[in-house]
Amino acid sequence: MDNLRIEAESRIFHNRVLLNDLTELELHKLIEELQIHQVELQLQNDELLQSRLLIEKAQQKYFNLFDLAPVGYLVLNDNGIINEININACDIFKRRNDHLQHRPFVSLLAPVSMTTFYNCFNEVQKKHQNASTYLEIVAKKNRRIVEITISKYISSDYLMVVTDVTERLASEKQLKESNVAKDKIFSIIAHDLKSPFSSILGFIELLEKNYQKYDDKKRISFIHRIGEAAKNTYRLLENLLTWSRSQTGKIKLQPEEMDMSEVVHEAIALMQHSATSKEISIHNQLTINYLVWSDPNTTHTIVRNLLSNAIKFTNRGGIISIEADTIHIENKPFVELRISDNGVGIAPEQLMAIFEIEKNITSKGTENEHGTGLGLILCKDFVEKNGGKIGVESQIGMGSTFYFTLPKV
């Protein structure tokens, strides 16, 4: 500024010398031109001021659109460093603006998503085309899933649109599972319920037509088969209705202190007839009380189903053993109950999917007992809702061990 003033003063001094040589008429003309030039400068200054106001309004509109957008916006430089970030994006990452600017975007990601981001970013840099992907982020120690779309922006910058899709993906998964559950229910109704009723109706029809021809032994045999079919159908309906209520959220868990020794004792009493009919011995190894915090109704259902399963897949004259122990998971005490048999075992390919309803794993028992695979799905659902985990160990021809945990009192 000082140099410009010196230059201006020098020119004015030079022109002042020249002005002394002008006539009065020439001076009047010069003054008039200077006045016109002054007006022109004022008009130009007004235009510049107006343009500046328009630019400021445009900038404000841009920042409003950027900052107040309903999705997250980030501007990254060529190295993936955050240059700008809007309010929504700050909310998604649960950090303040000044904590996010000028830091590598990849530092906000879970390690499993870092390579995915680099691949997506490199694709945009090389092809100059938009690219999208899903990433796992860490926001206040909580892991969330976001969908990002990266596109070329101004100069060497890149615009990233970020949307938190954690709830959406969870809803889609829940909807998919609900559809699978619905298909499973219809499959059971169409096949597994139809078959026993067909059997019952068939035996009844034979008895009606040949009652006088059959002796008492034959009649009792038919009645016994009808009774067994009716019992199996009832158990299936009971499981089906319980599971259906669970899936629709109509079962409300009411956890309380309960003794697993009593639960096991009651389950054995209920299933003793089935075990005796196959000459199977049930060894209850629970010699002390194991107190858990769990819902009584669902806990009884878990043990009853697992014991029924063991009887179903154990050969005549086999042995079932029930054991319990206290274990610690992440420094928290749990009671682990194990139901083991020396039956037929489970194939490795079925073992991985035995608790997944989508796989529809069903098998007949050692004496052709029918099943739907629904019992194990029900057990998994109830164990997890009570805060535990369920698993299985098995070898073909050696038997299986189903185990689950519940929070210890």
Q: Given this model, what pLDDT does residue 56 score?
A: 67
406, 335 in Cβ contact below 8 A? yes
Under 8 Å CB-to-CB from 397, ≥6 apart: which residues? 344, 345
- Is beta strand 82-85 parallel, antiparallel or unpaired with respect to 131-139? unpaired
Instruction: State residue 23 phi and psi, 5-degree precision.
Output: -80, 170
The most distant pair of C-alpha atoms in the chain lies apart, rounded to whole Å, by 152
Q: Given this model, what pLDDT does residue 322 score?
A: 96
Q: In tens digits, what is the pLDDT along the chain, a chain of 409 residues?
A: 566 556 655 655 555 545 566 677 777 787 788 788 788 888 888 888 887 777 666 666 556 666 777 889 999 999 999 998 998 899 899 999 899 999 999 999 999 999 999 999 999 999 888 999 999 998 877 889 999 999 998 778 999 999 999 999 988 888 887 777 677 666 666 655 666 677 788 888 888 888 888 888 888 888 888 887 787 777 777 767 776 777 666 677 899 999 999 999 998 988 888 888 899 999 999 989 999 999 998 899 899 889 988 998 899 999 999 999 999 998 999 999 999 999 888 888 888 778 876 565 666 677 766 655 677 888 898 999 999 999 999 988 899 999 999 999 9
Q: Report the alpha-carbon distance of residue 44 to residue 397 in Å, rounded.
A: 97
Q: Given this model, what pLDDT does residue 52 score?
A: 79
Q: Report the alpha-carbon distance of residue 304 to residue 263 in Å, rounded.
A: 9
How many of the other CB atoms lie within 10 Å of CB of 59? 10
> Among the CATH numbers 3.30.450.20, 3.90.1110.10, 1.10.10.1400, 1.10.3720.10, which is that of 70-164?
3.30.450.20
- C-alpha torsion angle, residues 72, 78, 83, 89 (rounded to 10): 10
How many of the other CB atoms lie within 10 Å of CB of 358? 12
Q: Given this model, what pLDDT does residue 366 score?
A: 76
Q: Given this model, what pLDDT does residue 361 score?
A: 61
For domain 258-409, say whether CATH 1.10.287.3510 is its number.
no
User: What is the 3 state secondary structure string of the chain?
Assistant: CHHHHHHHHHHHHHHHHHHCCCCHHHHHHHHHHHHHHHHHHHHHHHHHHHHHHHHHHHHHHHHHHHHCCCCEEEEECCCCEEEEECHHHHHHHCCCHHHHCCCEHHHHECHHHHHHHHHHHHHHHHHCCCEEEEEEEEECCEEEEEEEEEEECCCCCEEEEEEECHHHHHHHHHHHHHHHHHHHHHHHHHHHCHHHHHHHHHHHHHHHHHCCCCCHHHHHHHHHHHHHHHHHHHHHHHHHHHHHHHHCCCCCCCCEEEEHHHHHHHHHHHHHHHHHHCCCEEEECCCCCCEEEECHHHHHHHHHHHHHHHHHCCCCCCEEEEEEEEEEECCEEEEEEEEEECCCCCCHHHHCCCCCHHHCCCCCCCCCCCCCCHHHHHHHHHHHHCCCCEEEEEECCCEEEEEEEEEEC
**Taking the domain 171-251, which CATH number applies?**
1.10.287.130
Q: Report the alpha-carbon distance of residue 300 to residue 383 in Å, rounded.
A: 11
101, 82 in Cβ contact below 8 A? yes
Task: Look up residue 233 and give its two tokens.
Answer: 């159908």
How many of the other CB atoms lie within 10 Å of CB of 269? 9
**Cα angle 253, 352, 380; round to 5:** 5
Q: Given this model, what pLDDT does residue 29 score?
A: 80
Q: Report the alpha-carbon distance of residue 148 to residue 322 in Å, rounded.
A: 51
